[in-house]
Every structure is written in C-alpha cells, then in structure tokens.
Structure 1
Amino acid sequence: MRKLNMNQIEMEQYPVKDRFISVIESLLFVSGEPLKAKDMANILECDTKFIKSLIEDMKKLYREENRGIIIIETEDSYQLATKKENSEFVQKLLKTNVRQSLSQAALETLAIIAYKQPITRIDIDEIRGVKSDRAIQTLLEKGLTKECGRLDMPGRPILYGTTEEFLKYFGLESLNQMPSLEDVLKDFGDKDELLEENIIKEIEKK
C-alpha cells in the first residue's frame, strides 16, 4: 500500500478512505490493547496525522450512529471500548463467561485471592483444604491473577493478587470498589454452587 497523506486522500474516491477506516477498526479490535497512531501508520504505510484524522472520523461516526463501542485515547494511543451506559449488560455477560470458563476449583481460588490478597499458595490450600496449584496456574494463564511479590519468611513463598484484567472483568476501577462477598455470590447465583460454606467463612474472616 503506497504512502498517503491527508491531501492525497481527499483527492481519492471515498471507498479508499473507508478501506483505511475498516483496517484501523480491525487493528483496534484484534489488539485489545491501546495502539499507537504511529504503529498503525507503519502498518498501513501512511502518515500518522492521516491515521489520527481517520480516528476522529470514526469517533464521530460511532457517536452519530449511537454505536455500542467508542474509541478512547490515552497518550497518543487508541483503544476500542464499550459505552459506559451499556456496562451493566456487558458485565452480566463477562460474569457469565467467567463462571462458565472456570472450574469450581479455579472459582474458589479466585475468590480467595480477590478477598485475601496478597496471599500465598499455602494459605490458599489451607482455606480450600486441597492443593490449588492447577487452579492458580489456570488463573495466571487467563490473566486474572498475578505474582505480586514474595513473603519475607523462610522459602520466600510467592504472593498472589488480582490483575487489571480482573478489574475489567468485574467493571471495577480499583480494588477499593470490591463489593461484599455476599453481593458477588448473588450475582453468580446459588452460593452453594460457587463456594463451599467453610470457604465463605474463611474469606469473610478479617
């Protein structure tokens, strides 16, 4: 694809401009993470200013057509996101997906880490009454938890905590917004299907 700039594109037929917009939208969608304008310009072999101009057109289009997605900008990077007014419905889907994609063991482990972090694997095992190695690995692979340091004691065991991805899944801006365990269990349905009673009691201990 040849190098284009703003003046040249205005001389072209509109379908060419639409093609660029289509590619930009695909790049933002596939990335999932913020993309720099210069990186998109390199991929499309065009000017960075042209990319920024097209993104402004896309923002306007999304607003005018009342789309369910928006483009957010941070430090010269762009990312697709859902509209805030749709967050209630998006979170219902995300919670359902988490519930369906995680095993009972992983769900128990995630709840323990979320409410007891930072916490070691040994402490998680104690609360659950069984080994949690596989469950922890699953949560790490899904990006819901992370290693966040080591405990200052013999053996220096790894401490686990939740991630930014965890906050996104549950529509939280920070851990300070964590709802009560009771509210979380209501969202997921029957608490007995999610967590054993003894685990709930251990998590709720201060």
Structure 2
Amino acid sequence: MEEDEEERDEVPELGLPLPFSSNVTSLPSADRGEKLRIIEALLFAADEPLDEAELGRHFGADEDIPALLEELKGVYASRGVNLVRVAGKWAFRTADDLSYLLERQTVEQRRLSRAALETLAIIAYHQPVTRAEIEEIRGVSTSKGTLDVLLETGWIKLRGRRRAPGRPVTYGTTPYFLEHFGFDCIEDLPGLGELKGAGLLDSNLPPGFAMPSPSDSAELREDEDPLEDEDEGEAFDDEEAGEEMRAEAEDDVSSEAESHAEADSEPEAEAESEVDAQESAQESDADDGADADEEARG
C-alpha cells in the first residue's frame, strides 16, 4: 500500500493524489463535466452575453475555453434552447424552429418606420456613412428624428466626422446591433444572393450592380476625425448648421445664376423692343403712304 501511494502523483494546488500518471494532459471526464456545468451556470445567470475572456477568469490560464464552449454548444444543439455566439460573445437563445411559439409572448415595444429600416440597412452596409450620403443612396431626405430613433435603440452610434466641408458626422453600427439581429460579426449580413432569394431585391438588377463589403471596425478611417468628446446634441447641432450652410450656399448659387440670367436677358429684351419699334414705324409709314395714294386717285 505504501509503495502504491508513493507512485501516485499529486495535484500541485491541492496536494491530492491522482489515479493516473502526470504525463496525461487530459482531465478526467467528471472534472470536464463540472467545468461545462460552471460555464452553463455563468451563461444562464448573465444579464448579457459573455465572451471567452470573461468566462476564462473562472478557470486557469491554460484552460481551453473555446473547446468547452463548442462542446456545450453541441450538448444544446437538439434542445429547445441553443447556445449561440452573437457579436463575438456567447448566450442562450430559443431554438430558431421554436421561435413561432413565443411570438404571442413577446411584446413589441416599437415598430420602426420604413424610413428608419432603410436608414439602418444603409448604415450597416455602407458604414461609416454621413447623413448626406444616406440621403443620396435613398434618394430622399432623412430627418433628424429617424436617426434619433435608431440612436435610442442602441443599434447605431456616432463614429466621427468626415474630413469634408461642414465636417459632417459619420454613423456606424454597434455590438448591440449584432446581438439583437443574431449576427456574430458584421460580415454575416446577407449578401446579394441571399437578399434575392428572400425577395428583398429585384431579380433584374442593372449590370455591374454589387453589394458593398460591410465593415464595423472601431478604428477611424483616413477621411474621419474623432468627435473630440462631443455629445450627441452638439454633434447634431453642428450637423444641422452644416446642412443650413450648404442649403444657403446652394441658394446663393441659384440666386447668382438667376441674376446672371436676368442680366443676360435685359439686352435681348431691349433689342427686341427696338426691333418691334422699328417694325411699328415701318408699318405706320406704309399705312400713311397707302392713304396718300388713295387720296391722289380720288
């Protein structure tokens, strides 16, 4: 018995004997099962999805958290609740094929307008994008209220300012956008084929039509400047001022063009008046000559 105990290895932290050699790297199934239970409990109790780093804090530094999550995901694959990855984090969600059972249980707090949905789609696919660029793509003006609604949902954010006249604000999506719509990353947005298959795009698209490659990188691009600790109200006020300046500039250009047109038309009008006067004088002389001839014959 003493020899057997001497041959046994010990767990360094606890000093407990292990019934297997120290060169075995895998853990006993019971220990692995306990770790799966811990991850399951943490995800179930969390108010929001957890990433691998947050889960890893409850284990050793060398623990393979991704492998544990994939194993737990497989355990829940055939159940009414699935373990899914959204926005780079993990959470339990109702199985997709059972979502219809919960439709009546879900209270719809707000229904987005068509303008808001179109604006959200443009921001998701074209980010970073300015309000003027959104309007150019939609073909109609976009009200500040529409952007306010999307900001309140937490699906979009103010990214920075475009290095362009007026320094307009640029918009992008947030991690909550991915979480709400069930995407792991922005690249998971439906592509051209998927949108056609769902009937959301016309099958007869113009030649050369292509979908943009979405990217939600937090780093500002070369044509963007930081907001410099501005709040949303200040950013909107500045953007409104920029819109007014652009509108005034357009009005000035239009007024100047009209003035030039009026100035150019004045000589033409004077010339036409002179021609009309000459024609009237000639007609009058002709009438007088005809009257004189009639009197002479009489």
TM normalised by structure 1 equals 0.48
Relative contact order, higher structure (CA 8 A, sep 6+): 1
Larger radius of gyration: 2
TM normalised by structure 2 equals 0.36
